[in-house]
Amino acid sequence: SQIEDRYTTGMIVRLQESTHGMQMIPKLREVTRAYPGRRKLQLLVQLADGTSVTLDAQGQGVDINNELRNRIDDLLGGGNIQMITRAPKVQNSGRRFGS
């Protein structure tokens, strides 16, 4: 939805070593490079030994849209994308009700 998109600041993509393999990283990079933009891209790598590492894609922002989400789902399977959102700012005009 538009409201969701307005407050989305980035996207986390989960990559599981046991499921996807590390050879998936360059393929994922190739897909995300096709959608340059200003939103943050993070990679959550879950290693086979159970540890997790979060990586920031330095210098690579993305334009988050349905086409990008669909391509990542096709590559990794569904459920591996999480949006990074921020709460909307409350506009305070300083007026009080009843004054």
Domain ranges of the chain: 2-85
Looking at residue 2, its pLDDT comes to 60
Structure confidence at residue 60 as a pLDDT band (50, 70, 90): confident
pLDDT at 94: 59
> Measuring CA to CA, which residue among 46, 72, 41, 44 is closest to residue 58?
41
Q: Is the pLDDT of residue 16 over 70?
A: yes
Q: What is the DSSP code string of 35-73?
A: SEEEEEEEEEEE-TTS-EEEEE-TT--E---HHHHHHHH
Buried b / exposed e across 32-50, counting CB within 10 Å, b at 16+?
beebeeebbbebebbeeee
pTM, to two decimals:
0.82
Asked if 17 and 48 count as a contact pair (C-beta separation under 8 A), the reply is yes
